[in-house]
Structure 1
Amino acid sequence: MKFRIERDVLADAVTWVARGLPARPPVPVLAGVLLQADAEGTLTLSAFDYEVSAKVTVPADVAEPGTVLVLGRLLADISRNLPARPVDVALEGNKVQVTCGSSRFSLLRMPAEDYPTLPAAPESSGTIQGDVFTQAVSQVSIAADRGDTLPILTGVRMEIEGDKITLLATDRYRLAVRELSWQPNVPAGTTGSGSSHVALIPARTLSDTAKALGASGSVDMALGGSGGSGGSGGSGDGLIGFEAGQRRTTTRLLDGEYPKVTSIFPTSVDTVAVIETASFVEAVRRVALVAERNTPVRLRFTDGQLDIDAGTGDDAQASEAVEAVLTGPGVETAFNPHFLLDGLGALGAAYARLSFTQPSRPAVLTGQESADAEADTTYRYVLMPVRFAS
């Protein structure tokens, strides 16, 4: 195998496929990236850890076609730090020689014959706008559980009904829901369209994928069967695939029944407060500086004002006030400041709206473009209050 490729092209491609390589792979070859140089002038790079696969095809000047497996993270580090010149890669005996200008690296060839075959992606199901996909995933994935006590809560639940997608995630202390549109390949209502689908996708993988592919104009989504006994036995069962340009990735879905958490949304609202988002964020961030670990910030809503404070007794204390438009009776409650800031940061709106039933019940955070505009309910962030000593 022997080929020449532009430094930036190689660096981008290796970084893309190597981004999810395990730090401690159960099998040594899973730390590798597979390079396949084709006589037609393309280089395909692949990575797979039995859960997530990534593949990208880029142009290259191929002198000798062939296949080789090398350590992925090492190749990514090397390619990103090479000088801005063409890179020559050649297999010489048991070593892969990487040359760029006066820089020379010799990498150990790994046994490509032991590398697992990448899974076949499900058939394309439709497309979604790249920037919308990225924003929606980032808004929801912040609420997914980062621990391993309940693995099912580490996922984002994707429910598809016709041309509508609903993303949902929760860690039991907060819940995020985003509704958006996509373009299914088979129009909703068509006989046999299979327009309803539910998938539970690992949140971290989905977030990384959305960030990497979202810069594209559109992202192609491929839905497989639902893993476990719910699968249909066809190609791509238990997988979901995403593709943009020459980048393709699949991930294995989480198996299990996601808790029915939508009942947490209040059926009525007694108090609504509207606050300028930027001022709210800055005030909470400053007051939270004195909040000890797991200590909440207290919010007191009165007509025209929101008082924010933290700390009690002999501890450090802080307080700040911001303008608020209040509809309904005053409310005093408390939230985990980090969870509150996550939600405010995800809104993407000039004003934040907090809707309450009772101080002890979950509050719903939504965004709106002006103080007197209607709330944008395509994104809702539900926050559980924290008890505090009065």
Structure 2
Amino acid sequence: MEFRIARVDLAEAVGWAARALPARTPVPVLGGLLLAAGAGRLTVSGFDFETAARIEVDAETETAGEVLVLGRRLLDICRVLPDGPVSCALEGTRFTVEAGGTRFGLSTLPREEYPAVPAPPPLYGGVDAAAFATAVGQVAVAAGRDDTLPVLTGVQLRMEAGEMTLSASDRYRYAVRRLEWKPEGAAAEEAVAVLLPARRLLDAARSLARSGTVRLGLDAGSAGFEGARMRTVVRRLDGRLPGYGALFDMAGAVVAEVEREALAETVRRVAVVAEANSPVRLDFSAEGGGSVLVRAGYGDDVAAQRLPASLNGGAEASVAFNPAYLVDAVNSFEGPRLRLEMLGTGQRALLSSGGDGHEGGGGGEPFEAHRHLLMSVKQLV
């Protein structure tokens, strides 16, 4: 096996495939990256039984072949290689990397012990890559981190006709994002819902964001995402998220609007005096044209700031949230204004884009493209 490749291409391919490497593994070969040189290309693959990543880049191949090398060691080497062409070769049991007079030698791992990388699932449809990456980022913040409750660590994708709905919840918050997609084959006839690990899906979506279109494949155990010359296959989680229809019914809610970036900055500022697990309180008032007082802390250790805000449906309203959850929710939106529908202390509050941030859905019916539900804490500061 022998090939030549530009340093930037090798570094990109190794860095991308290394995303699938496990942090720790009792199986040494899973810490390896599989390099396969063929006619005019180099394929780099990583696999850890939950995620498989594969990328192709241009290369001048002298001798075709495969080699399995320690992925993170190769990644470290790629980071320090001088610019210019890189020559790589398999010499017995050693893999050599040479560029600009610098030469590295790497021991190889037993190729025969490396598990078979899963084939991509059958194509199910396509979605705009940039929009998909944005949507996954908006809902993934609401996914849980507790691995003892795996269902709550996932993002659920539901595909129906020309609409994809992404959702995630850790029981204290629930984020939903809708966007258009183009189904193919059986996808055009039936709805399907799949649950995928949030961290893995977020990583895959971000890495494919510049691919133009992400092609989505599905089978009984996995979902595949492919764009340009990159492909990721992610193992599905068992189960489904609880429905959000009743939760998002905010009949009788008081509605407020506030500048989004100003609210996020203010919450971060006043929260520095809040003790662990202490809430940040928002007091909305319609008096004097409308405002919201954001405050945190107890006793002498307090902070407060007032912002302009509008309020409809009442003369005043108060809610309190975990400050980290609130900042995550506010920052997941993109528009200049934020809309809050509030049922009161200790109850639900639904965040969405305010002003002209509403988007259209399928069939011409208006809908909120992105919504984020937060539970207001019962004890106000």
Return the TM-score normalized by structure 1: 0.92
What runs of 5+ residues in structure 1 fail to find an aligned partner? 226-237
Alpha carbons 2:53, 2:233 under 8 Å: kept: yes
Residues 51-80 of structure 1, C-alpha deviations (whole Å, 9 max, x = no match): 110111111111111110001111112112
For 1:326 and 1:267, the matched residues in 2 are separated by 15
User: What's the counterpart of residue 210 of structure 1?
Assistant: 205
In structure 2, the residue matched to 1:58 is: 57
Question: Is there any run of 5+ residues in structure 2 with no aligned partner, and where?
Answer: 361-365
* Two-structure CA RMSD over aligned residues (Å): 1.8
Instruction: State the match for 1:13 in structure 2.
Output: 13
Give the conservation status (yes or no) of the 8 Å contact 1:5–1:86: yes
Structure 2 Cα separation of the partners of residues 292 and 376 of structure 1: 38
1:156 maps to which residue? 155
CA distance in 1, matches of 2:40, 2:321: 57
Partner of 1:82: 81
- Structure 1 position 295 matched with structure 2 position 303: no
Partner of 1:135: 134
1:182 aligns with 2:181: yes
Answer whether contact 1:97 1:104 (CA < 8 A) is retained. Answer: yes
Matched, 1:29 2:29: yes
Cα deviation, residue 359, structure 1: 2.6
1:339-382 deviations in Å (ceiling 9; x for gaps): 11111101101100000123321100001345999996110000
Pairs within 5 Å for 1:190-269: 193-225=188-220, 238-269=221-252
Cα distance change of structure 1 residues 58 and 125 upon mapping to structure 2, 3 Å threshold: same
Q: Following the alignment from structure 1 to structure 2, what is the Cα–Cα distance between the partners of residues 244 and 389?
A: 48
Runs of 4+ in 1 over 4 A off after TM superposition: 369-376
User: Are the aligned partners of 1:156 and 1:203 in contact in 2 as well (CA < 8 Å)?
Assistant: yes
- Length, aligned pairs only: 372
1:366–1:376 CA contact under 8 A, matched in 2: no
1:171 aligned residue: 170
Give 1:99 deviation, angstroms: 0.4
Taking the aligned partners of 2:334 and 2:136, their CA distance within structure 1 comes to 13
1:146 Cα deviation (Å)? 1.1
CA shift digits 1:149-182 (9 cap, x unpaired): 3111000011111111111100111110001110
User: Is the Cα–Cα contact under 8 Å of residues 168 and 175 in structure 2 kept in the other structure?
Assistant: yes
Query: Following the alignment from structure 1 to structure 2, what is the Cα–Cα distance between the partners of residues 389 and 129?
Result: 42
Q: Distance in 2 between matches of 1:325 and 1:371?
A: 16
1:379 is aligned, of 365, 370, 373, to 370
Q: Summarize deviations over 1:231-278 as a string: whole Å, max 9, x none.
A: xxxxxxx11000001101101100124323442223403310000111
Q: How far 1:285 sits from its partner (Å)?
A: 1.1
Q: Distance in 2 between matches of 1:32 and 1:249?
A: 17
Q: Percent identity at matched positions?
A: 44
- One-letter amino acid matched to 1:210: A
Q: Matched residues in 1 for 2:305 and 2:60: separation?
A: 62
- Equivalent residue number for residue 363 of structure 2: none
TM-score for the superposition, normalised by structure 2:
0.94
Q: Secondary structure at the match of 1:287?
A: helix
Give the match for residue 294 of structure 2. 308
- CA distance in 2 between counterparts of 1:372 and 1:138 reads 19
Q: 1:373 to 1:324 in 2, by over 3 A?
A: farther
Question: Is residue 2:312 matched to residue 1:327?
Answer: yes
Distance 1:376 1:366, change over 3 A: farther
Return the offset for 1:23.
1.7
Alignment partners' CA distance in 1, 2:271 and 2:341: 22
